[in-house]
Amino acid sequence: MSAKGATAEIFLTAFKTMAKKEQDIFLSKILKEKKFREDLIDIAIAESTVKDRSSRSDRSEVEFTSALEILFGTEGRT
């Protein structure tokens, strides 16, 4: 594990040991910081997108390829 990964683990472990009220205060302070709030929103959107994609596993490869062709304007090209 990298030094940054180890530091993150230490912070996460400390957070998990806090009482619920302390966790709420800590998270409130993070959310008051615009940059942290925006980063968390970005992460939540990215995670949601990944989950949406994995839940659409019933889409056939042909439909997926067609969607990519439309998206990238490669329809009808060989």
Q: What is the pLDDT of residues 8-51, one digit of tens each?
A: 899 899 999 999 999 999 989 988 999 988 988 888 888 887 66
| Euclidean distance between CA atoms 41 and 64, whole angstroms | 27
User: 15 Cβ partners below 8 Å, 6+ apart?
Assistant: 23, 26
The structure tokens 């302390």 sit at: 22
Instruction: Report the pLDDT value the prediction gives residue 19, as an integer from 0 to 100.
Output: 96
- Please determine, for residue 78, whether its predicted confidence score (pLDDT) is greater than 50: no
Task: Spell out the domain ranges in the chain.
Answer: 1-32, 33-78
| Euclidean distance between CA atoms 33 and 17, whole angstroms | 23
